[in-house]
Amino acid sequence: MNAKRYVVLASGRGSNLNSLLGAGLPGRCAMVICNRPGAAALNVAQAHGIATVVIDHAQYSSREAFDAALAEEIERHRPDLVLLAGFMRILTDDFARRFAGRMLNIHPSLLPAFPGMTTHALALASGVRIHGCTVHFVTPDLDSGPIILQAAVPVLDDDTEETLAARVLAREHEVYPIAAAWFLKGELKLDGRHVRYSGPQSESVWLCSPPA
């Protein structure tokens, strides 16, 4: 059987990209696509021996035009899975629908709490005691797709946005490769708003850090 193929979209420093490429996923990364020339993620991919391409969003007159070019490049590699790894673009509805059921994202909050960009500031302002991250399928509704896996961290009394973000990021690096591997092994099934997991039950856990 041919190994499944995946493409990763990245914009920034590439820390989640590095965790994915270093995890030995049961598939082959066909390409890393970046929308920002000079992004550190390009160096991360190259260090792992993965080909890269830049599609600079600033060179397109609209989100629709950029997404069309991005989709064409993705499809050229015939991926079974598209992984967003710090890809800082709001995707058009048509793009999300085109890759429905085969595109994952990781978000730095326990969705549905705190969608959007300022998750850590919102968590601190709200007074929650537990924060975390969520791997989910991408849908046209921002940060609202079916949830695959979540990991939690405690919110400490002396936390700043920076310390909380660092604690959450460490959990992102753990759970994103797990969820991606589940997909590539065919162990995930979408059932409406729910994701059903059919792999070893020992792996079907909600990963939560213990209190400090």
Tell me whether domains 1-99 and 107-134+146-212 share a fold: yes
Give mean pLDDT, residues 18-35. 97
pLDDT at position 193 over 80: yes
Give this prediction's pTM. Answer: 0.93
CATH classification number, 107-134+146-212, choose in 3.40.50.2300, 3.40.50.720, 3.90.650.10, 3.40.50.170: 3.40.50.170
Q: For 91-140, how does the pLDDT look when each residue is reduced to its tens digit (9 = 90+)? A: 999 999 999 999 999 999 999 999 999 999 999 999 999 999 999 999 99
Q: Other C-beta atoms within 10 Å of 179: how many?
A: 24
Q: For 152-163, how does the pLDDT look when each residue is reduced to its tens digit (9 = 90+)?
A: 999 999 999 999
Contact 132, 112 (CB under 8 A): no
C-alpha to C-alpha distance for 85 and 62, rounded to whole angstroms: 22
Residue 201 confidence (pLDDT)? 66
Residue range 32-45, pLDDT digits in tens: 999 999 999 999 99
Q: Where are the domains of the chain?
A: 1-99, 107-134+146-212
pLDDT band with cut points at 50, 70 and 90 for residue 210: very low
Q: How far apart are CA 7 and CA 20, in angstroms?
A: 11
pLDDT at 203: 57
E strand or H helix that includes residue 154: strand 147-154
Provide the annotated active-site residues.
107
In CATH terms, the fold of domain 1-99 is Rossmann fold (3.40.50)
Q: What does residue 103 show for φ and ψ, rounded to 5 degrees?
A: -135, 125
